[in-house]
Amino acid sequence: METEKKNLQQIITHRLEKLELMLKAGHNPYPYNFDKTHEIKDLIEKDDKSIGSNVKTAGRIVSQRKMGKASFIHIQDLNGRIQVYLKNDILPENIYDEIARNLDLGDIVGVGGEMFLTKTEELSIKADSLQILSKNIRPLPNLKEKEGTMFNAFEDKELRYRHRQLDLVVNPEVKDIFIKRAQIISSVRSYLDENGYLEVETPVLQPLYGGASARPFKTHHNALDQLLYLRIADELYLKRLIIGGFEKVYEIAKNFRNEGMDRNHNPEFTSLEFYEAYADVY
């Protein structure tokens, strides 16, 4: 454990030194914005049609091979990965020495240049501009580097669920779950809206909990000096809206139940409830 801590501290110290070199050379390692012309996915999908075109894109470095005055890196964004060719005499003066030599796995960079095919026929960007967008100081834990490429040694499910951001970096396919969830919620919302249901918001903090048989989370309202509960269901407040005259209501809400948990049962979860006057499910 002590050896691991020492090695980690050495890596952090080395990366801080690289950060300092960039700053001294006048480069902002954490700029506010970068203007992209393309997402990586678009470049890959166009394939041969992209060759010869000038593009600007950005992504996280997931592999690198350095060869003296030139190097290859792969950058990855939300939907794709592409190779970038960096060469001393193609990049602006001193950029290779000031930025390219100081890059590490996990850094986020912006690149611009011409699309071309390498000798191995890999679609790549021949960079004539390179900008550091976010210098990674603390290496992503549980990732390994072999021959300049980052690969996944982050397989323990417990760690993956506790460190979702790392899981997303090293397991890009996990992003699909988040995307599909958003699409499902959007589709459900559109369906209910089109059928005359009104989306509402009901209180999360409630003086009385109900609508389900579950143990609630408790909290205290300082100004009112009152015990409140995080809702376990939104049923009762939705029914009050029906009493108030609304005929079709729904809510996509976060509910909280202070009970046992596992990978399939989270104490904080999203639920959909909808109610309609003068109707039944039968």
Sheet holding 198-199, edge to edge: 198-199, 248-256, 268-276
Question: Distance between CA atoms of 271 and 130, rounded to whole angstroms?
Answer: 45
**Do 74 and 192 share a domain, yes or no?**
no
**53 falls within a domain:** yes
Q: And the tokens for 55?
A: 């593009």
* Averaged pLDDT, 48-64: 89
pLDDT of 87 higher than 90: yes
The average pLDDT across 23-38 equals 94
**Size of the chain, expressed as the number of residues it contains:** 282
* 111 beta partners: 57, 130
> CATH no. for residue 46?
2.40.50.140
3 contacts: CB under 8 Å, gap ≥ 6: none
In a domain, 214, yes or no: yes
Cα of 239 vs its chain's centroid, Å: 37
- pLDDT of 177 higher than 70: yes
pLDDT interval class at 256 (50, 70, 90): very high
- Identify whether residues 192 and 122 lie together within a single domain: no
Label residue 265 by pLDDT band (50, 70, 90).
confident
Model confidence at 153, pLDDT cuts 50, 70, 90, reads: low
Among the listed residues 170, 179, 162, the one whose alpha carbon sits nearest the alpha carbon of residue 261: 162
Find the DSSP H helices in the chain: 2-24, 40-46, 95-98, 157-162, 164-170, 175-194, 235-243
Q: Which residue has the higher pLDDT, 241 or 66?
A: 241
**Domain-terminating residue out of 139, 157, 189:** 139
Please state, in angstroms and as integers, the Cα–Cα distance from residue 192 to each residue in 13, 242, 249, 263, following that order. 54, 16, 9, 30
Under a CB-based contact definition with an 8 Å cutoff, are residues 105 and 139 in contact? yes
Same domain, yes or no, for 32 and 121?
A: yes
Task: Mark whether 108 and 52 lie in a shared domain.
Answer: yes
Same domain, 126 and 196: no
For the ranges 67-76, 81-90, 94-103, 164-173, the lowest mean pLDDT is seen at 164-173
Question: Looking at the structure, do residues 17 and 102 belong to the same domain, yes or no?
Answer: yes
Count the domains in the chain: 2
> Does residue 66 register a pLDDT over 80?
yes
Q: From 18, 12, 1, select the one nearest 139 (Cα to Cα).
A: 12
Indicate the pLDDT class of residue 150, thresholds 50, 70 and 90: low
pLDDT tens column, 107-127: 999 999 999 999 888 999 999
Q: What is the pLDDT of residue 137?
A: 93
Do 101 and 204 reside in the same domain of the chain? no
pLDDT at position 28, please?
A: 96
Q: Which three-class secondary structure state does DSSP give residue 272?
A: strand
Last residue of a domain, one of 139, 164, 185: 139
Domain of residue 218: give its range.
174-276
